[in-house]
Chain A
Amino acid sequence: MSGSLVCVGIGMKLGAHISPISRSHIEQADVVFSGVSDGIVELWLKEMHPDVRSLQMYYAEGKNRNITYNEMVEAMLAEVRAGKNVVGAFYGHPGVFALAPHKSIQQAKLEGFEAYMEPGISAEDCLVADLGIDPGKFGCQQYEASQFMFYKRRLDPSAYLILWQIGVAGDKTLGKFNSDKNKLALLVGLLANDYPSDHQVILYEAAVLPIDMVRAEHIALADLPNAELHQHTTLVIPPAKPMEKNQQLLEQIRRLDEQAQLAPCSA
């Protein structure tokens, strides 16, 4: 069946992160849909292909974003069904905290079309580099900030915690574009179970244009409700306590090792 869909990541920083294969997909597509976080980045995409259609038009303040995301999926699939080779070009990694790329690929496959994803450099990748954080050092939990509030999670304060979309934390309507101090205060209250109120957290914003400055602002957790938060701010909470040894499991491992030493040839 003709018609295909490839969702590609263009990375975070204009010019710096796009992979050769993502660029090639964009250049060779019949039509490109753009899901990017910056108007100038969108102009850059338009230089790569004569038919770039912005997905921005589906957002509106007060409109539930689930409707927006379904409309994005439908817009891309309509062109796939019309037999076009469609590319969805998304900022960062198209599969990291992003619904429409996953959903549209799933749906296209269900309908018998070829569909897949090309990865990109995500905000988390930039964060690791800019903040000098290794998610493997103490482990790392990450959640969409509102989801973290709506559901009970098992939080490990000896690992890093990354909260995405912190700028709209607690928005049940999925229609807000700005932060709400009262909801942020609720989040601080939730986190206070595991972190002291003066615990230093980081407001992170990666550079998107080559002239952008990276934001890595350290504030006390208690000051979060009054902090300047944008849609593109990510909250990073470093560990607040040391990793605790699992003595029981360590003991079991010790016993296994001992047994293996006694019978070195057995499997």
Chain B
Amino acid sequence: MSAVIELLEKMGADSSLNNAEAFDAAIAQSELSVELKNALVNKNVTALERQLDVCPDTVCMLIPAEDDDGSEESDAKEE
């Protein structure tokens, strides 16, 4: 697993990293590049995205206001 993703996963999963000191220590102890460490310590998401070369504009909308099969009305009629 990529070291930075592994560390992020650990930060999400390990409650002992919930305090600032342990969080910073985990970053310091990692084998990551200085740039990545800085991005994590400063909680700089933009810098992290840039380092990892991911698109910052991910679309998260998963539902339409109105379905194209007209289910808004048909669902109600079924009842």
Contacts and interface: CB of A to CB of B under 8 A. Distances in A.
Interface residues of B, number: 33
B12 A15 contact: yes
B8 A165 contact: no
Contacts of B61: 65, 165, 168, 231
Contacts of B63: 97-99, 144, 164-165
Contacts of A211: 8, 11, 40, 43, 45, 48
A13 B12 contact: yes
Interface string B52-76: 1011111111111111100010000
B1 A42 contact: no
Contacts, number: 113
A42 B45 contact: no
B34 interface: no
A37 B72 CA distance: 26
A36 interface: yes
Contacts of A64: 68
A177 B56 CA distance: 13
Interface string A70-105: 100000000000000000001100000111100000
B8 A15 contact: yes
A179 interface: no
Contacts of A39: 49, 52, 54-56, 58
Given A14-B12, A210-B11, A212-B45, A150 B40 contact: no
Nearest to B40: A211
A188 B71 CA distance: 27
Interface in A190-246: 209-213, 231-232
A119 to B, nearest CB: 15
Interface-central residue, B1, B45, B61, by most chain A CB under 10 Å: B61
Given A44-B9, A47-B1, A232 B54 contact: no
A197 B17 CA distance: 42
Contacts of A177: 57, 59
B8 A210 contact: yes
Interface string A35-48: 11111101110010
Contacts of B62: 35, 69, 90, 97-100
A147 B66 contact: yes
B9 A209 contact: no
Contacts of A47: 1-2, 5-6
A70 B13 contact: no
